A and B are shown apart, each in its own frame.
Chain A
């Protein structure tokens, strides 16, 4: 299969690879996929008190398109509010990376990863608000 230049660029120079402290109050972690299916993405976002994503890190087990999709997503979410990030659609990833139809599931997984990370941080904050009340 021939990859687009953008997929190759993200694959060879992945942005924001790494790990944030999952136990921290201002970090949301989303892990989606399954090893048996051949891809697992872990996306982490660090959110400031105003609900703006100030940092994002990922690690992905999967094909080149899955790695590129998650790398791209870390760039897309940075500086966005949680609501803005939640509005990112997988087709934006497909278009940006010129993914072929057989790789669209990689972009869906990346969208799911954002949603999971946002859900995690929201749950944490609600829990914190409850215990403070």
Chain B
């Protein structure tokens, strides 16, 4: 592998390439010569071997989050885990209460699931985060009601990379005897998770953000004190009845291997990636009118979400054709709405439209970061030369005082 791989991939929070070691473990579980059996087959060695592989993977996933392997339920990914946790817990506890609390900056897999529950008669409070993206614990405490049964707060935000203080949130929910669900799709290998220390009851995970395959995830479901949820997919009673369906041995083995590697290498890897992220930020921060979105300290090492004022995100990405990043600009979505996450932080629409998310990972190199700095600076300069807003800013016009013809 060369040091500067063009196009440069800086979208590790969207997905990651599968680690070679993971790919090898997976391909060993497919063919006649490999471990292809059904883990549910109790009557022969093919089934036993497959079950052993699944058990080992379960142990590896459990180990990274400080859980017991029996508390791991395999799913198709974090979206399914979020659905199972939130709907499952809400439905099971519906007689106790029908109020749920979540955050406006959650992933759509959580927000849309909550919307669905609202249509079924549940009530949901959507908390505003602070300007730095973090939850104010007092505001969360104030939102708790008699009939609140579930709080769902993400660990690491996918757009801005900020890390919520789950330990403090868990202490609160446990003291109030409310279940805590945590969407941790973005956390494994980046920030430590300890379900016991943090008092987490339900935790969503997936493999493809940690150099594992797409299409596999897990839900941690606490056993002591026992957390009960209603199954969403019914069938053969796999996974203690919480999620039926034949286990995908190769996917599960891939997830297990990716979590094993994450556990072993995360410390060294995070130190390396943080250095690169800081190098990227240092290379851009002296430009005029550049704003970091989200807290810089309470943040995973690989994320830099930054707004280049007076430049529109999609056209910026068009200039960066050799660099794969994502933007909070409306034009990158079909909805024509800019990022709801950035807006929830109180960022104005202009800055939301002007944002780029760089996410660095295991295979990012210094050369790629330096190339990116050079290209971004060039593109921003070019687009500002083209921007009437930049002209007006330079002429000292207060853009908020202008009467815009909104369309």
Report yes or no: A36 in contact with B349, Cβ–Cβ below 8 A. Answer: yes
> For residue A32, which residues in chain B have a CB less than 8 angstroms away from its CB?
405, 407
Interface string of B12-43 (1 = CB under 8 A from A): 00000000000000000000000000000000
Q: In whole angstroms, how far apart are the Cα atoms of A124 and B388 in the complex? A: 22
> For residue A109, which residues in chain B have a CB less than 8 angstroms away from its CB?
407
Number of interface residues of B (CB under 8 A): 28
Q: A59-B388, A60-B386, A61-B389 are in contact. Are A35 and B399 (CB under 8 A)?
A: yes
Number of interface residues of A (CB under 8 A): 30
Check: B385 CB closer than 8 A to any chain A CB: yes
Residues 313-366 of B at the A interface (beta carbon under 8 Å): 314-315, 318, 329-331, 334, 336, 338, 348-350, 353
Check: B264 CB closer than 8 A to any chain A CB: no
Q: Which residue of the partner chain A has the closest CB to B406? A: A34
Check: B391 CB closer than 8 A to any chain A CB: yes
Check: A40 CB closer than 8 A to any chain B CB: yes
Check: B232 CB closer than 8 A to any chain A CB: no
Residues 17-44 of A at the B interface (beta carbon under 8 Å): 17, 19, 31-42
Q: In whole angstroms, how far apart are the Cα atoms of A67 and B387 in the complex? A: 10
> For residue A67, which residues in chain B have a CB less than 8 angstroms away from its CB?
315, 386
> For residue A3, which residues in chain B have a CB less than 8 angstroms away from its CB?
318
Inter-chain CB contacts under 8 Å: number: 86
Q: A42-B388, A59-B387, A67-B386 are in contact. Are A36 and B350 (CB under 8 A)?
A: yes
Report yes or no: A61 in contact with B388, Cβ–Cβ below 8 A. Answer: yes
Q: Which residue of the partner chain B has the closest CB to A116? A: B405
> For residue B350, which residues in chain A have a CB less than 8 angstroms away from its CB?
35-36
Q: A37-B406, A37-B407 are in contact. Are A63 and B331 (CB under 8 A)?
A: yes
Interface residue ranges, A against B (CB under 8 Å):
3, 11, 14, 17, 19, 31-42, 59-64, 66-67, 102, 105, 108-109, 112
Given A38-B353, A40-B388, A66-B315, 18 additional A-B pairs, CB 8 A: A11-B318, A17-B386, A33-B407, A35-B353, A36-B349, A36-B406, A38-B330, A40-B389, A42-B388, A61-B311, A61-B386, A61-B388, A62-B331, A63-B315, A63-B318, A63-B331, A64-B315, A67-B315
